[in-house]
Amino acid sequence: MKLLLKAALAAGLAVSATAATAQVKIGALYPFSGGLALLGDESFRGLELAVEERNAAGGINGKKIEMVKGDAVDPNQAVGEARRLTSVEKVQAVFGTYSSSLSLAATQVTELAGVPYFELGAISDPITERGFKNLFRSNPTARDFAASMVDSIGEAIAPALGVSDPKTLKVAIIHEDSLYGQTVAGYQTARAKEKGINVVETLPYSAKSVDLTPVILRLKSAGADVVLQTSYQNDTVLFFRQAKEQGFKPKAVMGAGGGYSLRETAQAVGYENIEGALNVDFTQYKTNAAAAPGIADFVAKYKAKYGTDPRSGHSLANYVGAKIFFDAFASSKDMTAASIRESVMKIDLPQGSTASGWGAKFNEAGQNTRVKPFVMQWQGGELVTVFPAAAAVTKMKTGLGQN
């Protein structure tokens, strides 16, 4: 009897031991509760779908991926959860994070622990500017957003307006004055200088402002043709409403994601008023599948699992990034940090080869360099991709509002 028990115990141990090695354990670090929870969860769904897809196809070289969630409500908790994931759960890699401040904090921990960290959605440039060896980012950064916005003045807006020299357009940069707005506007100013774009006004304002009329009157006096706005939701609504009230009609208005990407903003402003507003953000779902192969498939999978359409482009960005890095896992020799880095550096996907339309080629800092965000536009109550031509589902319209 005793012997039998011992044998059973030993067998059980053996089974659990093989089970432990037959899987790849990863951490999923996102804000699952608190004020950032909505888009944190949306980001996580992209990772979750990528994991399920990979496991259904046999996992990483036959090993299933097992996810352990970490809830990063604020930078302090991001540090605590990153510690738990790396030292208690002993994950082999961490994926995250949606928010830049959470990513900046959590990656300090994983870098010291020598655990690879894969950033799939935070856009602050300094994350990959700290010389970390085990940190990789698949998504575009604030600098990429700003570059896309400024470049599109010459490449898309001027041709659509029938203006032959984009330098004749008067451009105004307005932005909310917290880190997000300051960062993007800083890169815009630098890029505009490089490209010789004529910036006539740069106006920071508080996102808590209850009145943007003075900003609009300044733009009006300066005769701005193109307005680049980096904003949250409240100030986007205020800008559109008050611009209409003051009869300010620029030739083009372009947002840097944020408030411009949200349906609720469009509803509050009114679809007829936001019609024609341009936006640069993570790839959204009305994008030409020729430039983003697999996008329709992703939406179908998302709907099947969660029962709704994706709530934002964050899930797609996370899904695409996770898939790229899982491939790197599969080609790494032994899943050590050094071998993972080696295989991430070997990734070479051309632009337009993933479901988000991005490619993948990582520089020494771990940043993906083949990520040029698309230009989108509000048309008929939908945010549709209009530039570049390969990704566009329809032509860019000019002017603002329906009239």
Partner 1 sequence: MDVLIQLLINGIMLGSMYAIISVGLTLIFGVVRVVNFAHGEFLMVGMYAVYLLFAKLGVHPYVAAVPVVILLFLLGVLIQRFIIQPLLDADEHIQIFATVGLSTALVNLALMVFGADLYSVSAPDLRQSLRLGPYTVLVGQVVMLAASLALVIGLHAFMQTTALGRAIRATAQNRTAALLMGVRVDRIYIISFGLGAACVGLAAALVSPLFPATPTVGTYFVLTAFVVVVLGGMRSMYGAFLGAMIIGLVDSLSAYYIAPDLKEVVYFAIFILILIFKPTGLFGFGRGTE
Question: Given the rule CB under 8 A, which residues bind partner 1?
Answer: 35, 38, 177, 203-206, 208-215, 217-218, 221, 233-234, 237-238, 241, 245-247, 262, 264-265, 267-268, 270
Q: How far is the CB of 182 from partner 1 (least distance, A)?
A: 10
> Taking the complex as a whole, how short is the minimal distance between the CB of residue 82 and partner 1, in angstroms?
25
Smallest gap, in angstroms, from Cβ of residue 248 to partner 1? Answer: 11
| DSSP code at position 373 | P
When the beta carbons of 18 and 221 are compared against partner 1, the nearer one is 221
In terms of CB distance, is 205 or 326 closer to partner 1? Answer: 205
Output Rg (C-alpha) for the chain, integer angstroms. Answer: 23
SS3 category, 31: coil
User: How near is the Cβ of 238 to partner 1 at its closest, in Å?
Assistant: 8
Nearer to partner 1, 39 or 328 (CB): 39
* CB nearer to partner 1: pick between 210 and 304: 210
Give the shortest CB-77-to-partner 1 separation in angstroms: 16
- Which of the 8 DSSP states describes residue 1? -
- Whole-number Å distance between alpha carbons of 361 and 347: 6
- Dihedral over Cα of 304, 305, 310, 313: its sign: negative
CA separation for the pair 238, 251 (Å, rounded): 19
In the complex with partner 1, which residue's Cβ is closer, 214 or 223? 214
Structure tokens, 306: 């969660």
- Least separation, in Å, of the C-beta of 274 and partner 1? 13
What backbone torsions phi and psi does residue 357 show, to the nearest 5 degrees? Answer: 85, -5
Q: Compute the distance between CA of residue 47 and CA of residue 289 in angstroms, rounded to an integer.
A: 21
Q: Which is nearer to partner 1, 189 or 234 (CB)?
A: 234
Helix, strand, coil content of the chain in percent (nearest 5): 45, 20, 35
- Least distance to partner 1, CB of residue 258, Å: 13
CA distance 57 to 69: 22
* Angle 288-293-295 from CA coordinates, rounded to 5°: 70
Cis peptide before 97 (omega within 30 of 0): yes
State in angstroms the smallest separation of the CB of 214 from partner 1.
4
Q: What DSSP letter does each residue of 101-139 carry, written as one string?
A: HHHHHHHHHHHHHT--EEESS---GGGGSS--SSEEE-S
| SS3 at position 230 | strand
Question: 131 or 214: whose CB is closer to partner 1?
Answer: 214
Closer residue to partner 1, CB minimum distance, 166 or 255: 255
